[in-house]
Amino acid sequence: MNQNKVRVRFAPSPTGYLHVGGLRTALYNYLFARKNNGVFILRIEDTDRNRYVEGAVENLIATLRWAGLDYDEGPHKGGDYGPYFQSERLEIYRKYAEQLLSEGTAYRCFCASERLEKMRKTQEKMKLSSKYDRTCLHLPESEIEKKLIDGDPYVIRMKIPENRIIKFYDIIRQDVEFSSELIDDQVLIKSDGYPTYHLANVVDDHLMKITHVIRGEEWLSSVPKHILLYEYFGWEVPNLAHLPLLLNPDKSKLSKRQGDVAVEDYKAKGYLKEALVNFVAFLGWNPGTTQELFDLNQLIEQFSLERVNKAGAVFNIEKLNWLNFEHLRKKTEAEVLNMLKDYLSQTEYKNLQLDDAYLLKVIEAMRARVTFIKDFVEKGKYFFEPPIIYDEEIVNKRWREETPEQLKRLSEFFSGLTNPTKEDYEVALHKTAQSLNIGNGKLIHAVRLAVSGVGGGPGLYDILNILGKDESIKRIENAINRIKL
């Protein structure tokens, strides 16, 4: 399609959540539009009323906005080519269907669903491909008129030409061809008056001046029907690009059975939008360099359809976790602080009076150990409440009969400190260990267990410094009283 202005569309059905595959389709369309100073359109394909879910459109728009994929034309924004809901364009589809009927490239089919099901089962038994047998194609005009007068329900089917090889070029798959013998006389308008995907999307793509159709591989086998429709209407076919399937690690098609597939699920689990977008961009595309960390602007700069692979893309959750860790590390302290405060406001710690200075110390201590914002709390619970239980394995390994007495000596030393720094705690511990004639490690492990309840985490002196002298002493005394061998 030789137009100067690139125009692409993301055209989801409002059937519930936004699948990560849908996010990838939206992302690639968005990147391609932005890279080429084009227009990114959101069109809602809501003609399948049986699958329509209330609130799905609002959720879809909110999810795209969260991911940073803002559209130029579409619902609530308008544009020159609306309406952008297909359910509001029924008259348009009817007009074009009538044109096909009058030109003999489509016909009315009055067959009952029971007959079609019986025909399908017979074909299945005979190991034939399931195709309509064209009974209604040969109905006399008088019989059609009578059925229309009687109000018999019907669908409109397109007439597929016989013995044709339909060829087309796909930017990702190059030259593709299908035999028309394998193509069914596709229903274009259902008996409820609503169009099927095939008619609606061809009509809309033409009227909305779409230059590039970028969508999932599952639509590849539908392209010959669309090519024929473009031909019947005398319209130019847009550029086509069909994206590879998303696969589970076992190479099966990505599905809810093996894990989360909704963008909303990943958002709820605390994944950063930057990490998810970066991850999804690499599900089928690569920049041809070793760079793996990208923000949205870098993706726009680097993206090209020519670098999208044909092979299925494996959804690797470990890679997504690594990207989340890396993108979180790139955030400024102020950004992490705001996210942590927001997270804390939704937990049992929402009423704790923690000042920013305290939280910033926690962030500094924990930053290298967290993949998600929630990890600051889940892995560093002891910064928000004293330990109630102590890791049994660590108790058995690190707590000895003489430990309480040794900790008492250390606690006394801590009591004598004035406004101690991190280094003061370290000196105090070393001197206490020396006076007890034991290695520093014996005290370090016992103190860590006493103040945190666990055996790992940031440096002990960082923990003591963050908790402060009084809280540290209190926790040591609690552990002495509570841990029994």
Amino acid at 215: R
Angle at 155 between CA 150 and CA 156, to 5 degrees: 115
Structure tokens at 381: 């619970």
Neighbour count for residue 393 (Cβ, 10 Å): 10
Residue type at 240? L
Integer Cα distance of 193 and 48 in angstroms: 11
Angle between helix 440-452 and 460-467 (nearest 10): 40
Strand order in the sheet with 155-158: 106-109, 155-158, 187-189
The count of residues in the chain is 485
67 Cβ contact list (under 8 Å, min separation 6): 23, 26, 27, 263, 273, 276, 277
Nearest to 106 by CA among 160, 143, 144: 160
* Biggest alpha carbon–alpha carbon distance for the chain: 111
The C-alpha angle with vertex 426 and arms to 421 and 429, in degrees rounded to 5, equals: 125
Residues with catalytic roles? 256
